[in-house]
Amino acid sequence: MSKIAFVTGGSRGIGAAIVRRLANDGATVAFTYQNSGAAADALASEIGAAGGKALALKVDATDAAATRAAIDDIAKRFGRLDILVNNAGVLHLGDVSELTLDDFDHTIAVNVRGVFAATQAAVAHMKEGGRVINIGSTNAERMPFAGGSIYAMSKSALTGLVQGLARDLGPRGITVNNVQPGPVDTDMNPAQGDFAKSLHDLMAIRRHARGEEIAAMVAYLASEEAAYVTGAGLNIDGGFAA
């Protein structure tokens, strides 16, 4: 039986790699996007042409009600939900004197509140074997450069959230975990960008990850093989936090 997956922020970068991998593994994947409509449609078409199933949904990541409604609609359409991947995220960088309360609130709305809202909606439709997988960041454990205070805080918050949710949902056979990437080669953080070398100098494996490498860890956590893994923060960061 094909699994039903829901991925937030799935049109580009890490999210698109996750959508492709889950679809390639046989899941029917619904994914959200906000501004990248052309990329989302292209991704859904690409997966369909390859024989997979993907649905692109325009949802504002800051709108918890819209996210919940989208999850409820997908679960109703397919009769259940098996996998939730909370990938949508925002990054506001700046000195503490420059960051605004709007930056702070937006970060919390997407990176923390949005994760909780989506999870709360999704687990209402999950049975034993359900999987909740958050895309956090290695910056939850190490922030070695200036300007990342509220981003690091938001990703650290997921640690506590995951540990608590793992306790709540363990008796139902639902696992909850964080995947914590280091630098990943995307449009927003290119491997050849001006900032890349300074990041590589902090790492044991001195390169950006490929989106497919992050997606592989997500696929593992979504699989039956990972039934005993819950409440964990799994770094895939080239030794950034080592």
Which residues are known to be catalytic?
151
Cα(173)–Cα(130) distance, integer angstroms:
7
Distance CA 98, CA 81 (A): 41
Q: State residue 178 phi and psi, 5-degree precision.
A: -105, 135
Q: Are 219 and 25 in contact (CB under 8 A)?
A: yes
Asked if residue 149 lies in contact with residue 94, where contact means CB atoms within 8 angstroms, the answer is no
The CA distance from 182 to 140, in Å, is 10
CA distance 67 to 86: 11
**H helix or E strand, kind and range, residue 234:** strand 233-236
Query: How far does CA 225 lie from the centroid of its chain?
Result: 20
DSSP E strand boundaries for 90-231? 131-135, 175-181
